[in-house]
Amino acid sequence: MVDFLTLGFFQRSLMAAALTGGVCAVIGVFVVLRGLAFIGAGIAHAAFAGVALAYLVGGPPMPFAIAFGLGTAWITGLLEEQGRMKLDVSIGIFYTATMALAILFIGLMKTYNAEVYGYLFGSILSVTADELKLTAGLATVVVGLLALFAKEFFFLAFDQEMAEASGVPARRFFFLLLTLVALTIVVSLKTVGAILVFALLLIPAATAYQLTSSLRRMMAYSVAIGVLVSVAGVLLSFQFDLPAGPAIVLLATGVFFLAVAFSPKRAPKPALS
């Protein structure tokens, strides 16, 4: 067992990067396959509004972020299910409304609070031992549940109605998936921030999608890419004194474009060697 307290800030941020990158990449596979990418963006902004409200009223940021994130996840999930409104429209409204709330809450604060902005842009280099524990605990829960119900979640991602018809309680799993997405995003706020967490959900999975025609391999590639770019991003930010979040995201984007260029699905060539 790693004793998080004895780690220096450098090891802590590397661990946080690996954990966040890994867990986002795992759940990102289902987000990409089930077409929930935009929901992820909505949840991230709602969670940030929760953090802003917490700072305004002097409450604890995490519970507020979880409440806002889960609320958005469930409501947009219900809207998608009922199909009353196009999903991009309903999420677009949520996305901007929660962002407006966040800006409103920040504006109402009497003093400038730099910590709030840490949740927007992430501050992986100042991750505390407690935050690292929380991230590790969440990663265990999310990965554990996804592994336990892998066949159900994959079926859901491929064809939800078919899954329901085959005797899988697909609707419950859909809401469980939304819940796990929301929790992943909330816990990643501190490390990569509300704006960039979305990239960690999307890019490793989307990159893996380019490289393989098998679900299992897509999962393996996605996790490998997520962990590697996150750790490499932190190392780069140390080496060249760059902000870590953008370093991670831009590195991931670079890998994504390489994957698109060399995708075996597009060209009759073998994948990256």
Partner 1 sequence: MPHPHPSHTHPHHADHEHGKPLIRFDHASFRYPHGPALEDITLEIADGEFVGVIGPNGSGKTTMLRAILGLMPPATGSLQIFDCACQNLRCHHRSRIGYLPQKRAVDPNFPITVREAVLMGRAGAIGLWKRPGKADLAIVRHALEDVGMEDYEDHPLGALSGGQQQRVFIARALAQHPQILLLDEPTTGIDTTTQHNVLDLIQRLHEELHLTIVLVSHDINLIAPLAERLALLKTRLYALGPAKQVLTKEILAQVYGPQILTTDTGHVIVADHHHN
The footprint of partner 1 (CB under 8 A) covers 33, 148-152, 154-155, 158-159, 161-169, 208-209, 212-218, 265
Nearer Cβ to partner 1, position 92 or 264?
A: 264
Q: How far is the CB of 149 from partner 1 (least distance, A)?
A: 7
Helices 37-57, 197-211: inter-axial angle, 10-degree rounding: 160
CA distance to 200, 206, 207, per residue, from 253 (Å): 10, 10, 9
Q: How far is the CB of 7 from partner 1 (least distance, A)?
A: 35
Q: How far is the CB of 13 from partner 1 (least distance, A)?
A: 32
Nearer Cβ to partner 1, position 183 or 206?
A: 206
Contact 272, 224 (CB under 8 A): no
Neighbours of 172 (CB within 10 A): 12
Q: How far is the CB of 251 from partner 1 (least distance, A)?
A: 23
Nearer Cβ to partner 1, position 198 or 209?
A: 209
Q: How far is the CB of 55 from partner 1 (least distance, A)?
A: 41
Nearer Cβ to partner 1, position 23 or 208?
A: 208
As a whole number of angstroms, the distance between CA 146 and CA 58 comes to 35
Nearer Cβ to partner 1, position 126 or 164?
A: 164
Q: How far is the CB of 221 from partner 1 (least distance, A)?
A: 10
**Residue-wise burial string across 117-154, b where 16 or more C-beta atoms lie within 10 A, e elsewhere:** ebbbebbbbebeeebbebbbebbeebbebbeebeebbb
Nearer Cβ to partner 1, position 125 or 220?
A: 220
Nearer Cβ to partner 1, position 80 or 152?
A: 152
As a whole number of angstroms, the distance between CA 13 and CA 10 comes to 5
Contact 40, 185 (CB under 8 A): yes
As a whole number of angstroms, the distance between CA 157 and CA 192 comes to 26
Q: How far is the CB of 56 from partner 1 (least distance, A)?
A: 41
CA distance to 133, 209, 227, per residue, from 187 (Å): 11, 25, 16
As a whole number of angstroms, the distance between CA 137 and CA 134 comes to 5
Map tokens 């409204």 to a residue: 93
